Chain A
Amino acid sequence: MDDRFLVDRVFTVIVVVIAIIAILPIFHIIAYITWRGLPIVIDNGLSFFTDVPAAVVAEKPGGIAPALAGTAFMTITATLIAVPLATLAAIFSVEYPNHVLTKAVRVTSRSLLEVATILIGMLIFVLLVLPTGRFTALAGSLALAIVMIPYVYTYAELALISVPKTYIEAAYALGMKRAQVIFYVTVRVARRGLARGIAIAVTKAMGETAPLLFTAFGARSVIFGGPFEPADALPLMVFQFIQTGYDNWRALAWGGAFTLLVLYLLLFIIARILVKEVRY
């Protein structure tokens, strides 16, 4: 009779242990990056964020300003391109679920999620960088936008589909036109899900290295040269500097990784505070 309590105990322990093992890597990453990166940020103070990287022979590492500026520019412009496009596409698929275009968009979006992002970088390289003959921040923005679109679309579609039909019916019964129903009811009830998708897509774009290798390329000597000049980005800088043998550049890479981590957390906290959950 006591066997079932014993079995229950054993399974509870097993499940808890497995759960801990599953989330351990995340805590390991966070802890290790903080341990290596935080002291560097503290040692260099504000200049860590405002200076360009120092020369390899210098004693001080300098700062990550070019990477910070490039990431800010490319993430914001990519978001401005991707979010309206993907959200409108999601609205279209939810409103016309059986349309040929909807099926095409779904298949394309799902495949795009699986495509290695370096291929997206190569696409922009062929379409934009080769014809214009230069690496530009804008090319990086475009590549990141393509990375973001399927994420925003997938989450937006899910959020919009989950809006209870009874609210949509009530809206039509009030005499609202389709666009009014979408604008006044559907999108607003789904706002938390939409925001979640955008936040995930933005962090994805902020953390991508591969699509920038052949598009934005990287820049170390100027903070930001404008949209038509090469630009640096946090993950790109981390990727390139951590492979060098220079201690001061490796220090910049760890500090940059830590900065990226903090930006992620900030983004999710801000999204949670700004966009309130709709209670039914």
Chain B
Amino acid sequence: MVSPAVETRELRVRISGRDILKGVNLRVPEGAITAIMGPSGSGKTTFLKVLNRLIELIDGVEVSGEVRVFGSNIFDMDVYTVRRMFGMVFQNPNPFPHMSIYDNVAIGARINRVARSREELDRIVRWALEKAMLWDEVKNRLRDPPWRLSGGQQQRLCLARALAMKPRILLLDEPTANIDPVNTAKLEEALRALRRDEGMTILLVTHMPHQAVRVSDYIVMFYDGMVVEEGPTSEIALNPANEITRRFLRGEM
């Protein structure tokens, strides 16, 4: 395995006294797409939200264990610095409803002071929209409100917003769960291109085995708050060692 972008040791999460993650040990390789598979309630989303410490917004959360991102323990770092290393796309498209398409993308760059001038900001917005494969569809209506876009376009807008903050790692939480097949294909294509052209490290949570097989280099199988199997996609897709993974891939879960 390549050098890890994210490494967790004995990561445990309790929310209001319930164990959600029960000791996760994982190494996420840099510059690759890692799919996190598993049935609902297996702790996939919680795992993502621990990485950028978004989990701390919830009351009554206890996190123990170690999370290292590019070698540094995220719990020793300033929480905002941690969040700025990650771009996140959520399950339901959530572009800011009061901002234009342009501002939705620009806000990430503005908050994180990625751009120093108006021209640079324009360039970053365009770059992010191109990388999200949305530029051609919105370039003539950047001032429109986001509700004029379809759900799939909105989700790619959210991807562009995350990219504009120039994150080192991209987290996607079932981004295509509520999106039609054509838009799903576009988003998957955008993810593959980001990995190929930008060397982006991508963590994709999905409950669709086909999607994991289509886009990922590595697969991690979550079940009941634990990692039951992990490895290169080619091996796991063809020859899963674990019975749970096998049943999940066959669509029996």
Please list the residues of chain A having a beta carbon within 8 angstroms of any beta carbon in chain B.
98, 164, 166-177, 180, 184-185, 188-189, 191, 278-280
Contact = CB atoms under 8 A, between A and B. Distances in A.
Given A166-B92, A280-B147, A174 B98 contact: no
Judged by DSSP, the binding face of A is helix
Contact of B147 (A164, A188, A279): A279
Given A278-B98, A279-B97, A177 B80 contact: yes
A167 B97 contact: yes
B182 interface: no
B226 interface: no
Nearest to A166: B94
A222 B90 CA distance: 63
Contacts of B90: 166, 169-170, 173
Contact of A173 (B59, B86, B145, B147): B86
Interface of B: 52, 54, 57, 59, 80-81, 83-84, 86-88, 90, 92, 94, 96-98, 107-108, 111-112, 145, 147, 158, 161-162, 165
A194 B216 CA distance: 46
Contact of B54 (A164, A169, A180, A189): A169
23 contacts: A98-B59, A164-B94, A166-B92, A168-B57, A169-B54, A170-B158, A171-B96, A172-B83, A174-B83, A174-B108, A174-B161, A175-B83, A176-B80, A176-B111, A180-B111, A184-B107, A184-B111, A185-B96, A191-B98, A278-B98, A279-B97, A279-B147, A280-B97
A126 to B, nearest CB: 43
Contacts, number: 67
A102 B96 CA distance: 28
Contacts of B107: 174, 184
A167 B96 contact: yes
A185 B94 CA distance: 12
A175 B147 contact: no
B97 A173 contact: no
Contacts of B94: 164, 166-167, 169-170
B97 A174 contact: no
Contacts of A166: 90, 92, 94
Contact of A189 (B83, B88, B98, B158): B98
B88 A173 contact: yes
Contacts of B161: 170, 174
A174 B92 contact: no
Contacts of B80: 175-177
Contacts of B98: 185, 188-189, 191, 278
Closest 6 CB pairs of A and B: A175-B84, A173-B88, A166-B94, A175-B83, A188-B98, A278-B98
A185 B112 CA distance: 16
A174 B82 CA distance: 10
Nearest to B81: A175
A175 B97 contact: no
B61 to A, nearest CB: 14
A185 B104 CA distance: 11
A180 B112 CA distance: 12
Given A167-B97, A175-B111, A279-B145, 17 more contacts: A169-B90, A169-B94, A170-B94, A170-B96, A170-B158, A172-B83, A173-B52, A173-B83, A173-B86, A174-B83, A174-B107, A174-B112, A174-B161, A189-B97, A189-B98, A278-B97, A279-B147
B54 A173 contact: yes
Contact of B96 (A98, A177, A180, A189): A189
